[in-house]
A and B are shown apart, each in its own frame.
Chain A
């Protein structure tokens, strides 16, 4: 009952978006259809034409779905014509980047929380690092790493990590400081070592702050991996697919790749939620 109440608005909004999309396709593709049409056509034919162009300004939803289904089901998973192949190339870079971001964020946060000098000196630099547009820095990273002989997955992971480490660092700094002063005093009465304070109190207390920021980091890592594929002339990956689509004006292919990217990021978010639920379960149902 409650679930149904939550589901209906979701479906209603989805239908509304699709409706607006179809209308938008008529409006945006209309001029092109009229230009190409030799003689006057009926309104019905006109509408059908706007929804079935080969290179529309805005493809209709069913065109994108058809393209997506064709790509996913008529080619083998390893084929470069299958979007799953590209999604995996991008996702593996994003995941590696997220791993780098987690390690770096945790290290930075631990340093900031424990070393007062770092607290004052590091944070402004971290914030400054995020004001540099990733689109500007991505080619440089690729060139510099390429000169060092590092190519392939790692430069992309580095750019994904560059975007993703920030929310993780900020969340972990807050989380590592979230422990109750009484709980810290308690460990002092046990003469606990600093690493015990970290592993028994500060880190477990920070997890409820980590997960919301991990969601942000997950989507940023995927964005970073896609952006990293744009200027590098990558052969595979969702970013490469987007770029190829725009070279040849294949708008349907672009939208299919976008939809695939959205699906991949939703899968990533679901994975974070699953891990969060498992951790919460180990803690009696609460994080």
Chain B
């Protein structure tokens, strides 16, 4: 009895030391569409600690986007417990605890670049001078300082996605949720943006949850890789990535990198053999 209390005290202390930004226990998500039940997520258990860079990887339909949207309170779990910063996702959303980067840039075409980045700050009611200063700062961070007055259609796809990242960073959330942000981009742009994002994460210490299809991308960016499988969407493996935290693109040719990549690939294949 006393031992159990002690144990719980210890675990709660441990929780204080490294508070979990995301804690999912038995999270399931069932859609009803056209009379059919689709199990998007089945019994997801996952904790993400502050400062982690966690990739969700898996085949199409494995629920990685659904999980991200559930964390963002854009979908509502059918069962299970999901906490973001120790709060329900709805509370966390109302406190604007996370920034979300979608698959498409989702910029507002009638606003120029800097006004797009200022959008969340406008909604939060920041004074005008600070809005502008912050937007300029984060545009600089993604290398677009000189494009502030351009309109979205005047930028390439990669630049638009960088604007959307600056927009997500601009209100300085502790948690960044990214849903295949580089999925639609060509390989070279993607490499550059991976490097950008890695440096950004190192500099800001933001917790990142990152959805991707790409094994090299997941291994290059992450501290932990969550491998998921489809029908029903579930977590089949969580791989700790012990590669050094200072990374550049040449890392991808090293045996250590390839070893982690192989582990991810094997886990993905193991998930497929269930079918």
Contacts and interface: CB of A to CB of B under 8 A. Distances in A.
Contacts of A283: 109-111, 151
B151 A183 contact: no
Given A191-B94, A286-B109, A200 B74 contact: no
Contact of B124 (A180, A190, A207, A284): A190
B112 A187 contact: no
A250 B112 CA distance: 58
Contacts of B74: 185, 188-189
A187 B123 contact: yes
Contacts of A205: 110
Contacts of A190: 96, 119-120, 123-124, 171
A200 B122 contact: yes
Nearest to B112: A284
Interface string A164-192: 00000000000000001011011111111
Contact of A189 (B72, B111, B151): B72
Question: Interface residue tally of chain A, by bracket?
Answer: 20 to 34
Contacts of A182: 102-104, 106
A196 B151 contact: no
A286 B151 contact: yes
Given A200-B119, A286-B151, A189 B110 contact: no
A41 to B, nearest CB: 68
B123 A185 contact: no
B115 to A, nearest CB: 10
B93 A183 contact: no
Interface in A150-169: none
Given A284-B151, A284-B154, A200 B123 contact: yes
Given A182-B102, A191-B94, A286 B153 contact: yes
Given A182-B104, A183-B108, A284-B112, A189 B153 contact: no
B108 A201 contact: yes
A191 B96 contact: yes
A192 B93 CA distance: 10
Contacts of B102: 182, 185-186
Contacts of A191: 93-94, 96, 123
A193 to B, nearest CB: 8
A182 B151 CA distance: 19
Contact of A186 (B96, B100, B151, B153): B100
Contacts of B150: 284
A204 interface: yes
Given A185-B102, A188-B93, A204 B123 contact: no
Nearest to A192: B123
A284 B111 CA distance: 8
A287 B74 CA distance: 30
A245 B106 CA distance: 58
Interface string A199-224: 01100110100000000000000000
Interface of A: 180, 182-183, 185-192, 196, 200-201, 204-205, 207, 283-287
17 contacts: A180-B104, A183-B106, A185-B106, A188-B74, A188-B93, A189-B72, A189-B93, A190-B123, A191-B94, A191-B123, A196-B123, A204-B108, A205-B110, A283-B110, A283-B111, A284-B151, A285-B151
Give 10 nearest A-B pairs by CB, closest first.
A284-B151, A182-B106, A283-B110, A189-B100, A190-B123, A190-B120, A182-B102, A192-B123, A191-B94, A204-B110
